[in-house]
Amino acid sequence: MNEYLLMLADAIFGFIALFALVKILGKTQISSLTPFDFISAVILGELVGNALYDEEAGIPKIAFLIALWGLLIYITEIITQKFKGSRYLLEGQPSMVIHKGHLVYDVLKQNRLDIDELQHMLRSKDVFSIEEVEYAILEADGEVSVLKKPEYQTPTIADLNLAPKPVKIGRVLISDGEIVWDNLKEASLNKTWLEEELHKQNVQSIEDVFYAEWQENQQKLFVALYHTKKKRQN
């Protein structure tokens, strides 16, 4: 029983320590995975995992391993910021796989990227034909950035010579049958107004709504109802 309690304490401490380490190092460590980030994550997980199942390891040893690895990552980040040349070695560099509408075969081969994988990555960017692409860059984190040919680009407000309108974010007012009060207040709205808007769309109860979003630009309430159950289960 004592062994399980010790494992529980080690696991909880390891979780909290890793979470704190990510917060200290910043969001860039988890926003995208470069090859160095991937290796760091694997090794850090291995260190903590081995410490958890080592009978002689305890919280002090786990703390030391996490602190040591966090320090190494922090030092590496400082080096990449101060010495530009080290970034390419540790983080990799972008590679242009499509240049002026032409596939760059040597770059594809160098990055071990076949045409099927490239097409899959382009489709994730809403590009369903290589013919539409003027430039495509394979980023260091494995994502692809795309610049379409002029004839396939979406026209902007400036292209159409239209007067720009202020951009306003949509606010979630109902989530899983419950009102998001903070958003309702920030939008200067109230429950009475919300119920009236729902009634206009033939919705009788807030609990029938799975998701509702106030689209301020259009002065419109988007409503999505439950379709798999008639009544929300408490």
Find, among 5, 110, 15, 1, the residue nearest to 63 by Cα. 15
Mean pLDDT taken over the chain: 78
The pair of three-digit structure tokens given for residue 158, joined into one six-digit string: 């400036």
Rounded CA separation 209/174 (Å):
7
How many residues are recorded in the chain? 234
Looking at residue 62, its pLDDT comes to 67
Summarize pLDDT for 145-167 with one digit per residue, the tens. Answer: 999 999 998 888 888 888 877 77
> What's CA 46's distance to the chain center, in Å?
24
Looking at residue 28, its pLDDT comes to 43
Where does the pLDDT of residue 10 fall: very low under 50, low under 70, confident under 90, or very high at 90 and above?
low
Contacts with 109 (C-beta within 8 Å, 6 or more apart), sequence order: none
Percent of the chain with pLDDT over 90: 32
Per DSSP, what are the bridge partners of residue 223?
212
Contacts with 208 (C-beta within 8 Å, 6 or more apart), sequence order: 177, 225, 226, 231, 232
Looking at residue 96, its pLDDT comes to 92
Summarize pLDDT for 65-118 with one digit per residue, the tens. Answer: 677 767 777 777 787 777 766 666 666 678 899 999 999 999 888 888 888 889
Summarize pLDDT for 174-197 with one digit per residue, the tens. Answer: 998 899 999 999 889 999 999 999
The answer to whether residue 3 scores a pLDDT higher than 70 is no
Looking at residue 234, its pLDDT comes to 43
Count of beta carbons in the 10 Å neighbourhood of residue 186:
10
Summarize pLDDT for 134-143 with one digit per residue, the tens. Answer: 999 988 777 8
Where does the pLDDT of residue 211 fall: very low under 50, low under 70, confident under 90, or very high at 90 and above?
very high
Looking at residue 76, its pLDDT comes to 74
Contacts with 212 (C-beta within 8 Å, 6 or more apart), sequence order: 172, 173, 174, 194, 198, 221, 222, 223, 224
**pTM for the predicted model, two decimal places:** 0.52
Rounded CA separation 50/39 (Å):
16
